[in-house]
Amino acid sequence: MFGYTALMQQNEQLASEKRRRLKEVLETSVTGYHGKILQYYGDGALSMFNSAIDGVHCAVAIQQLLQQEPKVELRIGIHTGDISIEEETIFGDGVNLASRIESLAVPGSIFISEKVYDEIKNQENLSAREMGYFELKNVIKPIRLFAIDNKGLVVPTRDALKGKTKQPTKRLAVLPFVNMSTDPDNEYFSDGITEELLNALTKVEGLQVTSRTSAFAFKGKHTDIREIGIQLNVDRILEGSVRKAGNRVRITAQLINATDGYHIWSEHYDRNLTDIFEVQDEISSIIANKCRKNLTARAHEETLVKVPTQNLEAYTLYLKGLHFYNKITPKDAKKAIECFEKAITLAPDYAQAYAMAAASYTFLGATGQRQPKEAFEVVHTYSDKALQLDPSLAVGYAAKGSAYLFYDWQWKQAHDALQKALSLNPATTGAHQMLSYYYMITGQKNEAVEIMEKALQVDPLSLMVNKSLADAYLNAGRMDDALQQAEWLLDLHPQLPVAMELKGWCLGVTGDWQQAAALFEQVHRLTKHPFKGLTPLGCAYAHLGEREKALACIDKIAQWQKEEPGLVLDADLAMIWSSLGEKDKAFHHLLQCVEKKMGPVAIIMEHPMFKVAAEDPRYLLLKEKLNLLDYL
């Protein structure tokens, strides 16, 4: 109850009347929605329900009743989780978090956690509005909250909650700068400038910068700044535009307070292209100084943008390479390599170009689009050269770690390189995912989940981060969490094949292969390719006893591998043979993966589909060949 203590001091009789009314409404409503009042707190109560839906319906009924005279102003917080009751003492994370959420609410409102929202979001007569992430007292991670906005309920602005919680500070998103050039092909240039600024700002100690993927999710959209702040959990946003004409460039930048859209700073720069790095450093330094307090003289003078090359043509090629690399397809990765290698030819001391070329070869080698030996030898060569030229390049360490992880199977070296990359730049593309793979491979399943949950904080809208977190949940046996992640992805992208496939695995592993097969058939149709998407489908057919259909999938995959010698698809074949109970053939193909140095084989072996294979002596042989006996 809001203001109860003050009211007791002013009018004890009125306070007692309101308390009695609150108790009457609670006792009637809670039992009416299959709940139980566990404890009264004088001016409030703790209640428990059989379902989150019942709890929220009850909360709405309570607030609507208390709006009638004599009116009682009440805050309600709801969370779902375990509780313990010992000798009339009630405790547990579920209780603690519900209490923190209630303290953040305002009179007449109902605040719920994300877990509760996931339970009620498809209820026609319940609706909620996202409030964003909040840092609550004694709660380690920021919590995403929603306010129920049914008729008659109060839904405050985020501004109204200032001072009630530790506000997220020193968190910045760099939105893609708009291409204002007459030539639309200069899009790569404005995107590249954005990415360069983003990478520079990640060097600022104490400043958390949202990763590129999530920031670029708003490209070309006209989303309200305050909404972007909520979705990315940041308090400040940098946006701007780039106009390039010949050797001249105009860059406009503005720093905005995400809470209210207030412009903190803005400036425009008209310069020659030869001054581009100087402009980037100036903008980065200003933003850094606006975002941090109590700076030392050294911090004020810190240079955030190094001049990577004096060759502007090489720099332009590098930005074009970034444009293709970020499309995340084999075809575009090859275009990216072409651009990076041309840049290297023009500027042999261009460390960033070497590092990004290494990252592109990693993508091709890890996905079986190029023979691993060929791909990862180049990754080593290029990443070594990049780090020789600039030992502070996070992407260089990430590429080096990928070669250790996917090709050399040198696990400690992989771990150390990837940790180094993240220490230099917490937003390093792909480093969290690869470190999560390392933890999966070495049997540290909880750590695999934790590193992806950290990745989600800096890249909350990334499809790959959310998908990799789901993979970690799946690998750790947390099927409900994995399924929830898959559903979240499908809410955003209903026809996203990787999310549909992920949901299918969750359903299949828990026994519903019929529904899994239906999803996998849809995935195969969406690929619009006769051979793609057949592996999960073949596994589902095998588990449903449809052997001929499973064998047909095997035949098509084998045909594809024969037609394109560069592809390594033995892991796909192993999964279907394993599902058919053909262990000898499954292990034959797994050993082929090892012989061909097909990097992800160590990850694939940890897939829930292979859990029975671990009992076979040949499993130990594979672990030995993969240098993993010490991790059993």
Confidence label for 360 from pLDDT (cuts 50, 70 and 90): very high
Lowest mean pLDDT among 181-195, 238-252, 363-377, 495-509: 181-195
Q: Where are the alpha helices (DSSP H) in 476-582?
A: 479-492, 497-509, 513-527, 534-543, 547-563, 570-579
Confidence label for 166 from pLDDT (cuts 50, 70 and 90): low
Joined together, the tokens standing for residue 491 give 């809410």
Q: 152-157 contacts: CB < 8 A, separation 24 or more? A: 152/63, 152/64, 152/67, 153/60, 153/63, 153/64, 153/108, 153/109, 153/110, 154/106, 154/107, 154/108, 154/109, 155/109, 155/129, 156/106, 156/109
Determine the pLDDT at residue 299.
Answer: 44
Confidence label for 300 from pLDDT (cuts 50, 70 and 90): very low
The mean pLDDT of 340-362, rounded to a whole number, is 93
Q: How far apart are CA 173 and CA 160, in angstroms?
A: 23
Q: How far apart are CA 436 and CA 469, in angstroms?
A: 9
Determine the pLDDT at residue 40.
Answer: 81
If one compares 251 and 5, the residue with the highest pLDDT of the two is 251
Determine the pLDDT at residue 554.
Answer: 96
Burial 522-561 (b: 16+ CB within 10 A, else e): bbbeeeeeebebbbbbbbbbbbbeeeeebbebbeebbebb
pLDDT, tens digit, 9 for 90 and up, residues 397-434:
999 999 999 899 999 999 999 999 999 888 776 899 99
Q: Is the pLDDT of residue 568 over 80?
A: no
- How far apart, in Å, are the Cα atoms of 24 and each of 28, 29, 373, 493, 629? 6, 9, 74, 46, 64
Encoded amino acid at 152, one letter: G
Determine the pLDDT at residue 402.
Answer: 92
Confidence label for 297 from pLDDT (cuts 50, 70 and 90): very low
Determine the pLDDT at residue 197.
Answer: 81
- How far apart, in Å, are the Cα atoms of 619 and each of 154, 286, 476, 574, 614? 59, 56, 19, 13, 5
The mean pLDDT of 317-321, rounded to a whole number, is 87
Determine the pLDDT at residue 103.
Answer: 85
Q: How far apart are CA 403 and CA 413, in angstroms?
A: 10
pLDDT, tens digit, 9 for 90 and up, residues 62-115:
999 888 887 888 999 999 887 777 666 676 677 888 888 888 888 899 999 988
pLDDT, tens digit, 9 for 90 and up, residues 545-559:
999 999 999 999 999
Determine the pLDDT at residue 579.
Answer: 93
DSSP 326: T
